[in-house]
Structure 1
Amino acid sequence: MSITSRDKKPKGGGQSPQFKMRIDPALREQLDVEATEQGMSLANWFKNLAREALKRKGIEPKG
C-alpha cells in the first residue's frame, strides 16, 4: 500500500489570506458609509483603493 501526501493549501482557486487591521470606530463608520455609497463591501473598497494607488505609481496590480 502506498500513501500519498497532498499539499492542503489551495493553489489559485482558494480564498486569499485574510488581512486584519485595527481602525478607530469613528473612522470605520465613515469608511463603511463611503463603501456602501459605492455599492461594495469595505474589503472590496480597500482593494480598489490599493489597486488605484499601485497604478498611480506605474505598477500593474496582480490579482
Structure 2
Amino acid sequence: MSIISREKKPKGGGQSPQFKMRIDPALKEQLDAVAAEEGVSLASWLKELAREALRQKGVTPKG
C-alpha cells in the first residue's frame, strides 16, 4: 500500500459520522502496527483501505 497522508478535517467544521465495529484484539494489534509503520492513525489507514477497495471495484470514492 502507498504512503497515506493524514486526514484533513471536514470542511464546515463538522465531524464526520462515526463507524463502530468489533474485531478480534489480535487483529486490531496487527492493524495498529501496520498503521503505525506508515505513520498514520488506524482510522486514516482503514479509510484509505476502503477507498482502494472501492477503486478496485470501479467505484470512485467520495470524501
Q: What TM-score, normalized to structure 1?
A: 0.78
Deviations 1:12-62 (A, max 9, x none): 621111000111111110000000001100000000000000001111100
Q: What is the match of residue 61 of structure 1?
A: 61
Q: What is the match of residue 44 of structure 2?
A: 44
Task: Report the Cα distance in structure 2 between the residues aligned to 1:27 and 1:51, rounded to whole angstroms.
Answer: 20
Q: Where do 5+ consecutive residues of structure 2 fail to align? A: 1-10
Q: Where do 5+ consecutive residues of structure 1 fail to align? A: 1-11
Q: Which runs of 4+ in 1 moved over 6 A?
A: none
Higher RCO (CA < 8 A, seq sep 6+) = 2
Task: Report the Cα distance in structure 2 between the residues aligned to 1:57 and 1:27, rounded to whole angstroms.
Answer: 25
Identity of aligned residues (%): 73
